[in-house]
Amino acid sequence: GSLDHYRVFAAQYPGAALVWSGDWPVFRNSDYWVVVVAQPFTTAAGANAWCDAQGFGSADCFTKKISWSDGPQGSTVHR
């Protein structure tokens, strides 16, 4: 399940966190689990290049600005 997937991911990427989308106003859908890697980037292109370098599929890894105060508009940059 999702928790097992997260555990494997977290073992490979220290600092990974499992967050509930409903806790963050930047997500449009408030009913799913999201794995985030706590690694800041100065640009969306830099974050997406990291996804490419790790070999993730475009639907599995993309840039998302995580914020407590911002809404979802403009917070996602797909690859």
> Which residue do the tokens 């963050």 mark?
24
Burial of 27 (0-12, 13-18, 19+ CB in 10 A): buried
Looking at residue 78, what is its pLDDT? 93
Looking at residue 15, what is its pLDDT? 86
Alpha carbons within 13 angstroms on the beta-carbon side of residue 61 total: 16
74: alpha, beta or left? (left if phi > 0; alpha if psi -120 to 50):
left
Is the pLDDT confidence value at 3 over 90?
no
21-75 pLDDT, tens digit per residue, is 999 999 999 998 999 987 889 999 999 999 999 999 998 899 998 888 999 999 9
- For 78, the 3-state DSSP assignment is coil
